[in-house]
Structure 1
Amino acid sequence: MSIVIGCLAFLSEVVIKPSIPNTLRLKNNCIEASKTRELSKKDMKLKNELPSIEGAP
């Protein structure tokens, strides 16, 4: 199993507090995702950017 340096897993506080990442032996660095309900479209820096997507019918 490889570990990617700089890779983060965003988890809920409910999961991080009781050491569930350790129990599950997660290899990624786990950090708490907080205040996500307070975010809006205005907080997204690249909200006007869209990728170029092409598809074949």
Structure 2
Amino acid sequence: MTAGYTRKSVPTRLRESGTPGGTVHSKKAGALRWRLPDGEELTLAEAEQRFLND
């Protein structure tokens, strides 16, 4: 028997870790982005790399 494991989404993991900002749909990029309080927009992969150490 194998145990299943479902990893949480990147936005959920960023929020739970206390990363500043939040997800937005960027009109400029036409996609979901993580927007920092200073207005910088990161792809979810960039935010994951910058803020999560797993």
Which one has more relative contact order, counting CA pairs under 8 Å at least 6 apart?
Answer: 1
Instruction: Look at both structures and tell me which one has the larger radius of gyration over its CA atoms.
Output: 1
Query: More strand per residue: 1 or 2?
Result: 2
Same fold per superposition (TM over 0.5): no
